[in-house]
Structure 1
């Protein structure tokens, strides 16, 4: 998977072929396709979705996707899907240490665990939040989710990913999105285990947020999103396809590789993005702006301006606001916030929130800087300050995020998390 080439442009109409003239000219589904391929359309929106929102791709493959056996249940106790009502959803602030890297051989599917969910996958609202930790390749095992598209946020190790549309290589500091229904397999480099986070978005596919008064430039730019070029396998080796469907896992057998797309044309395909390309907007006068200025991707809901899911990052940047409390302000919010840390230190939590860790602050649950951070920030010299070597992110949703029983009972849960605010003092003086 060296020397990979990519096509650029978010949601652009791409065309790519691994063999010359594999793409039909002038029509999508001719009576006969060159190389005796099958034409198959892949749609991740309704056929009649508006042109600007319609996502579909024509694939030209060695065998159609239905060339497979029946599905049978596949056991995996730690993958959950909304609505998940194993336990009540508590309003407490919650935080976890990183999921441990596996000691025995574990591939991506076996290393998946669900931390929280919201909404309802069957009605296509909300999301599932998962973590993965693996040290072995999937081999001839293939995975896909019929419940939602999957946003990967790697924290450790490189993912070498085979997809039906081509190859992707993704490292910490980058993200990858695999559309609902796209089959993929994750390879792990020798002696380089992988760990990271996944947002399984049940709702509207991710789009770029509007820039509003910012204008034509800033935030994430279309041209920086990379799509794979066509690549295929032509072999008759047995493969097991695992499908996450309506919250359950099912497995089916195939007598050949599903990665047999020789050419494709369309705008629904896996893609990746380097978060270092995000052009940060920030205040150059006073006050701490809302975290929405750091939104990379958004899944809109029917309520205008209120996201099904926002993907937000807190990257390296300059802080220059004058006469301002610079860390995130104390707040209660109608949105629910799940945070993860990829590297470095997050400015509002200097202790206990470590790379690979995560926190959950649900709807209307108060939160903000820990006591020590408040003391330092309230008395700091407000010279321009550069935040280096840090990268945190947030999955933010209009729906409350219910932690799973695994998450609540996990030894990684920091049951004393609330104590980081125990040192908050009373400074009030009515005589001032």
Structure 2
């Protein structure tokens, strides 16, 4: 790395190319990379027609009701670029499943959105412009907008993905005025894993291809030389990961609302993590969630592991969808049975949106049609 930005930097008499990867023009976080080849040296651009999730089709006039989707019914398909199954979307995000069945040598850069992945099953290694990062079940991964990356794996993994069309970050209320995570935040700087140097990717000189998504259209871009060959980088923009086990849950005297389990903040949505924890300690506390009607939020809840005592018919990999304005909470019987419980071991990931979601046509094949009737209380 040169000692100063924007100065000539030679390696074995070759002038390297300074590449600034910026956010919000030049006013927000950025990273600076030193590349052997200009990042503008593509030799071919052509349509990438294998992916069809760039433009989404919504269901026709679905009934307003609580819904349940079984992600286990979504079989591995395609690669991590073309094998995605979107379930719901609005102007702020797209939410879906990524169950790739095969590895592709192509990289992917989403110019439309930051991306959040949650690893539900399997082990994955991400290779990106900023290095490699191993992922295991229970990991969240954030990939910044426009960052080229690809997934490598031996066995097909199962991931949830969210496209954040505005922004996605650590909530500002977790950060003090000096940029450090506060002590009351649910994690610290040491909770995260960051990219490592990837000699295989960054020191070779083989041709590469990057599929770029912009305004829902996919373009396959080829480079005759290694786009990723570099001497190093520094900065504040790069992919990073955190595992559920490194997030500290909160508990209280009585049941805390979902916002107490906030993990990430996006433009128009929030991400919460429900984790094993000691339950409420008041002697009259009801640990089960109280009935509520979130009149300004749509809720998608992915059940990752544990005993889901508040829900019937729910299994690992289930996704419940509760649209705004429809009361929901524990299933009949669960409210009373929760009294006296001292611990919970369930793990779940929730996305709350502040604008209504549209369901996709692809979601129909995964839906449990009996779920709405499971809320009916049996007459005594």
The alignment's TM-score, normalised by the length of structure 2, stands at 0.89
Q: Cα deviations across residues 343-381 of structure 1 (Å, max 9, x unaligned)? A: 2233321x322222212112212211111323423xx4x
Give the direction of change, closer, same or farther, for the CA distance of 1:256–1:348 in structure 2 (3 Å limit): farther
Q: Residue 39 of structure 2 corresponds to which residue in structure 1?
A: 65
Q: Deviations over 1:102-139 (max 9, x none)?
A: 467x32223211111111xxxxxx1111211123222x
Equivalent in 249, 255, 278 of residue 318 of structure 1: 278
Matches within 5 A, 1:240-389: 240-283=209-252, 285-286=253-254, 288-299=255-266, 301=267, 308-322=268-282, 323-333=284-294, 334-349=296-311, 351-377=312-338, 380=339, 382=340, 385-388=342-345
- State the distance in 2 between where 1:318 and 1:183 align: 41
C-alpha change, 1:77 and 1:64, in structure 2 (3 Å) is closer
CA–CA distance in structure 2, aligned partners of residues 240 and 328 of structure 1 = 48
Residue by residue over 1:310-360, the C-alpha shift from the partner in whole angstroms, topping out at 9 and shown as x without a partner, is 1101011111333122111111111111111222233321x3222222121
Q: CA RMSD in A?
A: 2.4
SS of the aligned residue for 2:168 comes to coil
In structure 2, how many angstroms separate the alpha carbons of the residues matched to 1:44 and 1:361? 34
Structure 1 position 193, deviation (Å)? 1.7
Retained in 2: the 8 A contact 1:45–1:56? no
The answer as to whether partners of 1:155 and 1:343 remain within 8 angstroms in 2 is no
**Contact 2:33/2:230 (8 A) holds in 1:** yes
Partners in 1 of 2:309 and 2:49 — Cα distance?
A: 40
Contact 1:155 1:355 in 2 (8 A): no
Q: Does 1:400 align with 2:367?
A: no
Q: 1:47 to 1:103 in 2, by over 3 A?
A: closer
CA-CA distance at 1:167 after TM superposition: 0.3
Q: Does structure 2 conserve the Cα–Cα contact (< 8 Å) formed by 1:209 and 1:297? A: no
Distance 1:248 1:357, change over 3 A: farther
Cα distance change of structure 1 residues 250 and 101 upon mapping to structure 2, 3 Å threshold: same
The 2-side partners of 1:69 and 1:366 are apart by 55
**SS class of match (2:90):** strand
Tell me how far apart the structure 2 counterparts of residues 98 and 265 of structure 1 sit (CA, whole Å).
38
Shift in alpha-carbon separation, 1:257–1:135, aligned structure 2, 3 A: farther
Deviation at 1:262, TM superposition (A): 2.7
Q: When the two structures are aligned, how many residues end up with a matched partner?
A: 369
Distance 2:279 2:51 in 1: 44
Match of 2:7 among 30, 43, 50: 30
Q: Note if contact 2:269-2:351 (Cα within 8 Å) is conserved in structure 1.
A: yes
Q: Could you list the runs of 5+ residues in structure 2 that have no partner in the other structure?
A: 176-181
The answer to whether the 8 Å contact 2:299/2:353 transfers is yes
Structure 2 CA distance for partners of 1:281 and 1:76, relative to 1, 3 Å: same
1:117 to 75, 89, 113: 89
Provide, for residues 227-274 of structure 1, a one-character-per-residue CA deviation record: whole Å limited to 9, x for no partner: 213334344434331112112222122223433233111101110112
Q: Deviations over 1:5-44 (max 9, x none)?
A: xxxxxxxxxxxxxxxxxx110x212134435321100012
Question: Within 5 Å, which residues of 2 pair with 1:138-157?
Answer: 138=104, 140-157=105-122
Q: Which runs of 5+ in 1 are unaligned?
A: 1-22, 49-53, 120-125, 302-307, 427-432
**Greater shift after overlay, 31-40 or 335-344?**
31-40
Structure 2 residue 112 is the aligned partner of structure 1 residue 134: no
Structure 1 residues 71 and 218, CA gap change in structure 2 (3 angstroms): same
Q: Distance in 2 between matches of 1:87 and 1:209?
A: 38
Residues 32 and 90 of structure 1: is their aligned pair in 2 closer, same or farther, counting only changes over 3 Å?
A: farther
SS in 2 for 1:371: coil
Name 1:40's counterpart in structure 2: 19
Query: What TM-score, normalized to structure 1?
Result: 0.79
In the alignment, what sits opposite 1:159? 124
